Amino acid sequence: MPLLETVPNLSEGRRPEVVARLAAAASSGPGVRLLDFSSDPDHNRSVLTLAGEPESLHQGLLALYEAAIAEIDLNRHQGVHPRIGAVDVTPFVPLGDTPMEVAVAAANRLAPVVARLGLPVYLYERAARRPERTLLADIRRGGFEGLAARLADPAWAPDFGPSHPHPTAGATVIGARFFLIAFNAVLATADVSVARAIARRVRESGGGLPAVRAMGVHLASRDLAQVSMNLVDYRRTPILTALRRVEAEAAAMGTGVIETEVIGLIPEAAVRGVSAADLKLPREIPILEERLTS
Q: Which CATH number fits domain 4-176: 3.40.50.720, 3.40.640.10, 1.10.357.10, 3.30.990.10?
A: 3.30.990.10
If 0-12 CB within 10 Å is exposed, 13-18 middle and 19+ buried, where does residue 221 land? exposed
What does the pLDDT look like over 62-106, one tens digit per residue?
Answer: 999 999 999 999 999 999 999 999 999 999 999 999 999 999 999
CATH of domain 181-293: 3.30.70.670
The verdict on whether 58 is a catalytic residue reads no
**Confidence bin at 294 (pLDDT 50/70/90):** confident
> Other C-beta atoms within 10 Å of 291: how many?
15
Residue 281 has pLDDT above 80, yes or no: yes
Residue 166 has pLDDT above 80, yes or no: yes
Q: Coil, strand, or helix at residue 170? A: strand
What does the pLDDT look like over 17-63, one tens digit per residue?
Answer: 999 999 999 999 999 999 999 999 999 999 999 999 999 999 999 99
Average of per-residue pLDDT across 254-261: 98
Residue 126 has pLDDT above 80, yes or no: yes
Write down the pTM of the prediction. 0.95
What 281-284 contacts at long range (C-beta under 8 Å, 24+ apart), as own/partner pairs, is none
Catalytic choice (81, 164, 166, 218)? 81
Q: Which helix (H) or strand (E) holds 173?
A: strand 172-176
Which pLDDT belongs to residue 219? 97
Which pLDDT belongs to residue 115? 98
Cβ neighbours for 31, distance < 8 A, ≥ 6 positions apart: 52, 53, 56
Mean pLDDT of the chain: 97
What does the pLDDT look like over 181-223, one tens digit per residue?
Answer: 999 999 999 999 999 999 999 999 999 999 999 999 999 999 9
Domain ranges of the chain: 4-176, 181-293
Residue 2 has pLDDT above 80, yes or no: no
